[in-house]
Structure 1
Amino acid sequence: MPINFGIIGTNWITHSFIKGAQSTSKWNLAAVYSRKEETAKEFAARYEGQKIALYTSLSDLANDTNITTVYIASPNIMHYEQAKQMLSAGKNVIVEKPSCSTPDELDDLFKTAKEHGVTLIEAFRHIQEANFKILKNSIEKLGTIYGASITYAQYSSRYEKVLAGEVPNIFNLEMGGGALVDLGVYCVAAAIDLFGAPSDSQYFPVKIATGADGAGKLILMYPNFSVYLCHSKIYNSDTVNEIYGEKGTLVVPSITDVESVVWWDAKTKGREELAGGKEPVELNLKEEAAEFARVIEEGDREALSRYEKLSRDVLGVLWKARMDNGLVFAGGK
């Protein structure tokens, strides 16, 4: 039987998750929450022929016994309270990155999940991509690792609102916004999934008029190498991503929606394509949805433990970077 799930957050990424999830035949959209009934109706209307309950009350969603899992893609600052409420009601929760604002919040969510015998997973979609997994499995080809550079920089049309004197949520510290937690988190999660947690890190943000970071450079330090991360929502970059080693270099064109993985052999100077082809962009969350369904259905504690550690390690880096640079969210978070 498909997993009946509800959603909190009626934006484009929620539609992407639903499309990917339902294409696996493992998921069934059964509830939509929005503060406004009209918004919930408009969102659900895109899924004709499905029986979807509409809610304007989080308590009512939490009390719906037909819903076993809730996907949360609301503004960042709301993740903790909403996830806490759903977990406490005995729902599995998939929460979009970043999971929370602080390590203490994340600790509490994992504690609540364990107390109620349910699952909490943070949605780092890119690490579930087949080609990203090929990249990860190819690390051993490098021999001694010398370093890496990972970039994710896309100009946001919402920056134009900032230039016009407005404060959109994505650039609003009060809403948990900023480039680091929006795009930089993909770079951080990729690096930590590939190399583990760093021994230290240092962030160099580009602060914009709202007080948030519109871009930044983050250096992750490991005992014998460092990883350079670049992210931005105020400019574009076509820079490829590379991992450098004694025996060669691994190259990918982008750290999400990975189209190819190329191995450059230092000795022969030859190039070999290790991976090519990928899910269509409109289904770029299919792989993570399939994995999350598997983990929930099988109760795969080993996988859940890995994902929990990744979430903790990533948030630890984000938290340090923000606190070091005065990028404080609402409530001093």
Structure 2
Amino acid sequence: MKFSTIGTSWITEKFIESAKTFPDLELESVYSRNEEKAMAFAKVNGAKHWYTNLQEMLEDGADFVYIASPNILHAEHVLTLLEKGKHVFCEKPLAYTEEQMKRIMALACDKQTFVLEGYRHLFSPNYQRLKDNLSKVGKIRSALLQYIQYSSRYDAFKAGKISNVFSKEFAGGALMDLGVYPLSMTIDLFGEPTDVAYYPVLLNNGVDGSGTLIVSYPEFIVTIMTSKIAQGTIPSEIHGEDGTLTVDHIAPIEKISLSKKGSKEIEELAIDQNELDMVYEIAAFKKMVEENDTELCQAYLERSLQVAKWTEKARLANDIIFPNT
């Protein structure tokens, strides 16, 4: 399979590095709106071609395209690629409204193409270990999931230089940049919630620098804490009537502990993983396309639809409004 990339940030480089571990994946071309960046990125990463015109890139021989453009452009780029019959691997968030997701799902079905939202944590071996052991804690009663990570761009924001991740114009903010990781995990583990409530800490431009998302289910609550303006140190936990699962970090998961009720023993569940943890989501995407697994693709897209639906509700309730909504 040949692939192209949109975006020239570190995450695209990491994707290419991970993809190169698969002997049957080949980088065909790269795209950037900036000619100098496109040329340099192609040279460094070994792409055959580079483009500054997206329509021209769509005429090359790539089977799928990896998207790591600014959040605000994801849905537009996905729809453009699907229209051309390209399979799509898109960094999160795939879309920031429920309507965008429905359009993507309909077009993917019409064009018989595959789309995957890049949630690397949900495809890792240690996440599967977490899922496999979830029943051991018994009936779920609560969970606390945190992704609190001080952004390297926050100091610049305080100095008056606003980057995409701190801009509503580019669909940034803590919820969309980091909060979608624990929310996607919550939905993957427990299904669609009955309601959400978001309590953001808004910066002076109206974007959420941090926030707490309360995700409601009939018999338990999941509390999600997310921030780009502070650094977290506490683990995440899932609490059941028979025990507790403790996770060191949402992405990547490197340590999982199981504590059973009435026992002082702690069972360590995590295994060693590839440091290039994007290889797991790439493998899943590749297998899905090669096996023409439309049912699995639909399941992945339904999860993405739920993330878009509930983050949109959370944002709109707090007047965090992105363009084109």
TM-score by length of 2: 0.97
1:202-217 matches, cutoff 5 A? 202-217=197-212
**Structure 2 contact 125–271 (Cα < 8 Å) conserved:** no
Amino acid at match of 2:146: T
Aligned residue in 1 for 2:71:
76
Instruction: Determine helix, strand or coil for the equivalent of 2:269.
Output: strand
For residue 17 of structure 1, report the CA deviation from its aligned partner. 1.1
Is 1:93 matched with 2:53? no
RMSD: 1.1
Instruction: Determine helix, strand or coil for the equivalent of 2:14.
Output: helix
For residue 114 of structure 1, report the CA deviation from its aligned partner. 1.2
Instruction: Determine helix, strand or coil for the equivalent of 1:243.
Output: strand
For residue 301 of structure 1, report the CA deviation from its aligned partner. 2.1
Q: Aligned partners of 1:24, 1:249: CA distance in 2, in Å?
A: 37
For residue 206 of structure 1, report the CA deviation from its aligned partner. 0.5
Gaps of 5+ in 2: none
**Structure 1 contact 162–209 (Cα < 8 Å) conserved:** no
Equivalent of 1:197, from 192, 196, 204? 192
Instruction: Determine helix, strand or coil for the equivalent of 2:319.
Output: coil
Instruction: Determine helix, strand or coil for the equivalent of 2:281.
Output: helix
Is 1:230 matched with 2:228? no
Instruction: Determine helix, strand or coil for the equivalent of 1:276.
Output: coil
Aligned residue in 2 for 1:58:
54
**Structure 1 contact 19–286 (Cα < 8 Å) conserved:** no
1:85-124 matches, cutoff 5 A? 85-124=80-119
Q: Aligned partners of 2:191, 2:132: CA distance in 1, in Å?
A: 14
For residue 51 of structure 1, report the CA deviation from its aligned partner. 4.9
Q: Aligned partners of 1:51, 1:313: CA distance in 2, in Å?
A: 35
Q: Aligned partners of 2:258, 2:318: CA distance in 1, in Å?
A: 37
Aligned residue in 2 for 1:323:
316
Equivalent of 2:153, from 150, 154, 158? 158
Percent same amino acid at aligned positions?
39
Instruction: Determine helix, strand or coil for the equivalent of 2:20.
Output: helix
Aligned residue in 1 for 2:291:
298
Aligned length: 325
Q: Aligned partners of 2:128, 2:53: CA distance in 1, in Å?
A: 39
For residue 153 of structure 1, report the CA deviation from its aligned partner. 0.8
Is 1:309 matched with 2:302? yes
**Structure 1 contact 257–278 (Cα < 8 Å) conserved:** no
For residue 67 of structure 1, report the CA deviation from its aligned partner. 0.8
Amino acid at match of 1:76: N
- Residues 164-199 of structure 1: CA deviation (Å, up to 9, x unaligned): 122211111011111100001101111111111111
For residue 81 of structure 1, report the CA deviation from its aligned partner. 1.3
**Structure 1 contact 36–56 (Cα < 8 Å) conserved:** yes
Amino acid at match of 2:273: K
**Structure 2 contact 148–226 (Cα < 8 Å) conserved:** yes
Is 1:244 matched with 2:239? yes
Aligned residue in 2 for 1:8:
6
Instruction: Determine helix, strand or coil for the equivalent of 2:160.
Output: coil
Instruction: Determine helix, strand or coil for the equivalent of 1:227.
Output: strand
Instruction: Determine helix, strand or coil for the equivalent of 2:180.
Output: helix
For residue 230 of structure 1, report the CA deviation from its aligned partner. 0.4
Instruction: Determine helix, strand or coil for the equivalent of 2:273.
Output: coil
**Structure 1 contact 68–91 (Cα < 8 Å) conserved:** yes
Is 1:43 matched with 2:53? no
Q: Aligned partners of 2:101, 2:80: CA distance in 1, in Å?
A: 14
For residue 101 of structure 1, report the CA deviation from its aligned partner. 2.1
Q: Aligned partners of 1:294, 1:204: CA distance in 2, in Å?
A: 39
Q: Aligned partners of 1:261, 1:167: CA distance in 2, in Å?
A: 36
1:125-144 matches, cutoff 5 A? 125-144=120-139
Instruction: Determine helix, strand or coil for the equivalent of 1:329.
Output: coil
For residue 252 of structure 1, report the CA deviation from its aligned partner. 0.9
Aligned residue in 1 for 2:265:
270
Q: Aligned partners of 1:256, 1:157: CA distance in 2, in Å?
A: 17
Gaps of 5+ in 1: none
Q: Aligned partners of 1:91, 1:170: CA distance in 2, in Å?
A: 27
For residue 21 of structure 1, report the CA deviation from its aligned partner. 1.6
Aligned residue in 1 for 2:278:
285
Amino acid at match of 1:39: K
TM-score by length of 1: 0.95
For residue 320 of structure 1, report the CA deviation from its aligned partner. 0.5
